[in-house]
Structure 1
Amino acid sequence: MGIFSRLSDIINSNLNAILDRAEDPEKMIRLIIQEMEETLVEVRSSSARVIADKKDAQRRLDRLQSEADDWEGKARLALEKGREDLARAALSEKQGLLDEIKVVEQEFNALDDHLAHLSEEIAQLQTKLNDAKAKQKTMMMRQKTVSTRMKTRSQLNKDALNDAFEKFEHYERRMDNMESQLEAEDLGRDVKQSLKNEIDSLAQDDSINAELERLKADLSPKKDD
């Protein structure tokens, strides 16, 4: 089922209101444009038929007028020849044609009015269609702009995150370098310290041994006793 039930619904429609109520405005504007284009094709087809009927009516008018003129010529000829009876009969034929001409003229005028109305509807429908297409273009541009902004923001967030990781890695490298320098400065110090401690221990052992020998000597019984 279409969005619009009649051509007048399209012409009198408020596109903004329709789109505001739509759950999916982009889908709705596509459907509106499709229905407008289909309706425009139908109205143009109707206009083409009316134009064809109008041309046919014009041809009939021209033929009838030609026949009426011909019967008038015959009436003149009959009068010139003194045959009033034939002239009267010829004028009667002409009158019949004139009556028919009036009917065809009414048909022609009706077709002309109908065609003018269709032309006005086509113009209004085309304006409405152009408006719908402009709105669709605006919506597409807005969607593209939003997508681009979202993509850009995502890229910026990604770049910011990468930058944070790079700074953290740079900080870790600095700490590693500082720790490495400290460790490099301590290289060899443990060996020297161990060697010094070992030598100092030897000296301490000699002192303890000497003290131990002294005590032994004090405790040993003297030979004179």
Structure 2
Amino acid sequence: MGIFSRLSDIINSNLNAILDRAEEPEKIIRLVIQEMEDTLVEVRSSAVKTVAEKKEIERRLVELRREADEWQRKAELALSKDREDLAKGALMARAKIAEAADSLTTDLGRLDEALAKTNDDIGQLQAKLQDAKTRERTIIARQKTATARLKVKTQLHDDRITDAFSRFDQIERNLDVLEGKAEVLDMGRKRSLADEIAELENNDKVESELQALKAKLATKNQG
């Protein structure tokens, strides 16, 4: 079942109101776009027929004017030959053609008005269609964002993740205990001569690297 019943429904439609009432706006906007596209095809198809009819009338008018000119010529010829009866007949025939031409001219005017209205309708329909497509892109983007946020929140509240972090916390506590035991074992122990010399060597190495770094920075700043 369609959203709209006729072209004027689409042109006068309020997309915001339609989407606000919809339980599934992404499906409704797709249906709206489909109906608009189908209607646009139908309106254009109708316009093609109207244009073809207009061209046919224009060709017929050209023929009638040519026939009217021909009867005018014949009436003048008849009068030049003193055949007033034939001249009258020719003028009557010309009058009938003129009457037919007037009728076709009226029809042509109606077709021009119809085409002007159709052109206006197509313009408004295209504007509505563009608006609907813009709304569709917005709805899709919002839906993707909402889905991604829901997925993240679901994962954050996943019991498996909570359990994993609990295990991490327990492992860290166990490591704290092991490190504490190691530190306790070193407490009260006197360092050996080798340990003290090694510490001095390390201090000298660090001091040497520090001085080299200072010299490098000083050279860089002077440059």
Q: How high is the TM-score relative to the length of structure 1?
A: 0.73
Query: Structure 1 residue 56: deviation in Å?
Result: 0.8
Q: Deviations over 1:126-147 (max 9, x none)?
A: 1111111111011112223333
Q: Deviations over 1:47-89 (max 9, x none)?
A: 1111111111111111111111111111122222222222211
The corresponding residue for 1:50 is: 50
Give the secondary structure class of the aligned counterpart of 2:23: coil
CA distance in 2, matches of 1:25, 1:179: 64
C-alpha RMSD of the superposition: 2.7
CA distance in 2, matches of 1:161, 1:98: 97
The corresponding residue for 1:79 is: 79
- Aligned 1:37-116 pairs, distance under 5 A: 37-116=37-116
CA distance in 2, matches of 1:88, 1:29: 69
- Aligned 1:141-180 pairs, distance under 5 A: 141-151=141-151, 165-179=167-181
Percent identity between the aligned chains?
Answer: 48
* The 10-residue stretch of structure 1 (54-63 or 138-147) with the greater mean CA deviation from structure 2: 138-147
CA distance in 1, matches of 2:165, 2:70: 100
Query: Structure 1 residue 96: deviation in Å?
Result: 0.5
Aligned length: 185
Letter in 2 for 1:86: L
CA distance in 1, matches of 2:163, 2:41: 56
The corresponding residue for 2:2 is: 2
CA distance in 1, matches of 2:167, 2:150: 22
| Structure number with larger C-alpha Rg | 1
Stretches of structure 1 that go unaligned for 5 or more consecutive residues are 186-225
Give the secondary structure class of the aligned counterpart of 1:123: helix
Stretches of structure 2 that go unaligned for 5 or more consecutive residues are 188-223
CA distance in 1, matches of 2:149, 2:32: 29
Letter in 1 for 2:98: L
The corresponding residue for 1:133 is: 133
Q: Deviations over 1:6-39 (max 9, x none)?
A: 1111111111001000000000000000111111
CA distance in 2, matches of 1:52, 1:157: 67
